């Protein structure tokens, strides 16, 4: 299985040499906020919303002091805006009060922040800190790794554990970013382009 995972990684590297996060941000805490907004929302929509939000609240302190209802107005189109706004303000307050105004660099600390689950924490660890073994199990990752036979089931934490066991730790974060890109343009949820797929010969589930 590890050999198959390495084959997938090398093919994805060829097609997506730049394994970049699709969310746009300049500061570490802005990535934390963008990932929270991306829940049940597209990255493209988040990237349309965050410039105005970060312009109105240009510092961590400004966000921590913001009125939750005002934040709601900026992020309304991202869905679940009331809870997301509450989490954003709460997380920014906690960063200031408990973490010296910095996004913490451990899973344990990150999971204490409002609105931060394992998916968000892994993304932050991989992109901000370059932590080996950071596996971001979003819907693309779960779907595609299941089709390829690299994982089974749909529980994000279980899939994360399965992938961590077979992915080279230094490749994990970039692998997850490439899987997202691959899932958007080729291995889509409804109509995967199997005839054009560079991983077709490794796919367990689909007849191509």
CA distance 43 to 102: 24
In this structure, what CATH number is given to the domain that contains residue 90?
A: 1.10.340.30
Residue count of the chain, please give it: 208
Q: Which residues are catalytic?
A: 119, 138
Tokens of 145: 């790794």
**Nearest 10 degrees: CA dihedral of 197, 207, 138, 163?**
-90
pLDDT at residue number 27: 97
pLDDT at residue number 208: 42
Question: Both 80 and 170 in a single domain?
Answer: no
Q: Is the pLDDT of residue 103 over 90?
A: yes
Domain boundary among 95, 113, 129: 129
Question: Both 87 and 148 in a single domain?
Answer: no
Is residue 208 domain-resident?
no
- pLDDT band at residue 100 under the 50/70/90 scheme: very high
**What domain range is 163 assigned to?**
2-20+133-202
pLDDT at residue number 204: 79
Tokens of 138: 């979003």
Question: Both 86 and 36 in a single domain?
Answer: yes
Q: Is the pLDDT of residue 205 over 70?
A: no
Average pLDDT value for residue range 127-154: 96
Question: Both 44 and 117 in a single domain?
Answer: yes
Question: Both 74 and 36 in a single domain?
Answer: yes
The rounded mean pLDDT for the chain is 95
27: left (phi over 0), alpha (psi -120 to 50) or beta: beta
Question: Both 98 and 180 in a single domain?
Answer: no
Question: Both 89 and 124 in a single domain?
Answer: yes
Q: Is the pLDDT of residue 171 over 80?
A: yes
Average pLDDT value for residue range 64-76: 98
Residue listed under structure tokens 């924490």: 121
pLDDT at residue number 200: 94
CA distance 38 to 128: 17
pTM above 0.85, yes or no: yes
Count of domains forming the chain: 2
Q: Count the helix, strand and coil residues of the chain and give each as a percent rounded to the nearest 5.
A: 65, 0, 35
Tokens of 116: 């931060």
CA distance 139 to 148: 14
- pLDDT band at residue 160 under the 50/70/90 scheme: very high
Tokens of 1: 């299985």
Q: Is the pLDDT of residue 13 over 90?
A: yes
């Amino acid at each position: 299985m590890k050999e198959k995972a390495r084959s997938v990684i090398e093919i994805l590297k060829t097609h997506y040499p730049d394994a970049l996060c699709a969310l746009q941000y300049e500061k570490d805490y802005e990535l934390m906020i963008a990932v929270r907004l991306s829940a049940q929302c597209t990255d493209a929509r988040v990237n349309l919303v965050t410039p105005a939000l970060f312009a109105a609240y240009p510092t961590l302190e400004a966000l921590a002091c913001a009125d939750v209802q005002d934040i709601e107005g900026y992020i309304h189109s991202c869905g679940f805006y009331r809870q997301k706004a509450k989490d954003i303000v709460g997380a920014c307050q906690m960063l200031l009060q408990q973490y010296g105004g910095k996004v913490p660099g451990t899973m344990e600390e990150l999971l204490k922040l409002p609105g931060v689950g394992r998916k968000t924490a892994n993304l932050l660890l991989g992109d901000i800190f370059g932590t080996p073994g950071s596996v971001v199990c979003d819907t693309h990752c779960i779907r595609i790794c299941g089709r390829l036979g690299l994982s089974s089931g749909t529980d994000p934490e279980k899939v994360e554990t399965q992938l961590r066991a077979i992915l080279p730790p230094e490749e994990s974060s970039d692998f997850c970013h490439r899987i997202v890109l691959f899932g958007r343009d080729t291995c889509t949820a409804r109509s995967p382009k199997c005839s054009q797929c560079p991983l077709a010969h490794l796919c367990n589930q689909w007849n191509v």
